């Protein structure tokens, strides 16, 4: 379906302002001025600021999940590790391409609201399923037990860290070209980590076991 350019211009303006000033700090008039449209146009398209937020986030996640599904389907014939690497690239590329809205959404996800809970049920569970399934397939039986869960949490953390701590990355990302460089370098860093844990799976599990044993010993001695 062809996108409405005026509607998209409003969404882009809102994404930028929500990122800079927060949802409550942004007025409909602010959005209209930045998008160079009449205030009434926002009411016509979105029924107000809340409707605009819901539309923008829903559109973001539906396109995001569609992109993940396409990547999984297109890489079906590849090895599990290559499929995981491709999925990671797709995730970071999409989030970086929609950088401001991604950062805003990650900030909102830290708040407990009805809207956030609805997003979690509708979209985040499906995203988690794709990441978990692809990751566990890639590491196979090389890592077992609770270590698999801890490593999965680390991966998911790396996938969102640039958009939670975005102020620490802002000097590295200026303009479209630097966004591309960032994606390449950051994805490579995650892939190096994956290569390490798949190659050192047995050692990682042994080290985790030692840490747990040491903690139990420490607690007994308290």
Per-residue model confidence as pLDDT tens digits over 126-146: 999 999 999 999 988 777 778
Q: Boundaries of CATH 1.10.357 in the chain?
A: 57-220
Superfamily classification of domain 1-47: Homeodomain-like (1.10.10.60)
Class in CATH terms, 57-220: mainly alpha
| 203 pLDDT higher than 60 | no
Q: How far apart are CA 77 and CA 68, in angstroms?
A: 16
- For CATH 1.10.10.60, the residue range(s) in the chain are 1-47
Rounded Cα gap, residues 162 and 167, in angstroms: 9
167 CB contacts (<8 Å, ≥6 apart)? none
Q: How far apart are CA 105 and CA 153, in angstroms?
A: 19
pLDDT at 217 over 80: no
Q: Compute the distance between CA of residue 30 and CA of residue 36 in angstroms, rounded to an integer.
A: 10
Predicted confidence at residue 110, as pLDDT, reads 76
Residue ranges with strand state E in 124-200: none
pLDDT score for 29: 93
User: pTM for this structure?
Assistant: 0.82
Which of 12-26, 86-100, 167-181 shows the lowest mean pLDDT across its residues? 167-181
Rounded to an integer, the average pLDDT of 28-34 is 93
What pLDDT does residue 144 have?
75
Q: Burial, 168: exposed, middle or buried (Cβ in 10 Å; 0-12, 13-18, 19+)? A: exposed
């Amino acid at each position: 379906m062809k996108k409405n350019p005026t509607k998209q211009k409003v969404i882009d303006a809102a994404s930028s302002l929500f990122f800079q000033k927060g949802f409550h700090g942004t007025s409909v008039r602010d959005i209209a001025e930045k998008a160079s449209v009449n205030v009434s146009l926002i009411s016509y398209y979105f029924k107000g600021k809340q409707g605009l937020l819901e539309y923008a986030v829903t559109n973001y996640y539906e396109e995001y999940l569609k992109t993940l599904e396409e990547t999984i389907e297109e890489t079906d014939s590849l090895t599990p590790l290559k499929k995981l690497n491709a999925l990671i690239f797709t995730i970071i590329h999409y989030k970086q391409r929609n950088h401001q809205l991604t950062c805003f959404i990650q900030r909102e996800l830290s708040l407990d609201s009805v809207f956030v809970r609805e997003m979690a049920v509708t979209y985040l569970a499906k995203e988690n399923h794709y990441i978990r399934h692809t990751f566990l397939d890639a590491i196979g039986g090389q890592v077992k037990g609770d270590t698999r869960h801890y490593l999965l949490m680390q991966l998911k953390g790396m996938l969102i860290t640039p958009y939670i701590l975005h102020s620490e990355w802002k000097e590295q990302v200026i303009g479209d070209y630097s966004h591309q460089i960032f994606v390449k370098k950051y994805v490579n860093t995650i892939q190096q980590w994956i290569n390490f844990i798949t190659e050192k799976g047995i050692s990682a599990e042994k080290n985790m076991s030692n840490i747990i044993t040491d903690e139990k010993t420490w607690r007994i001695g308290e």
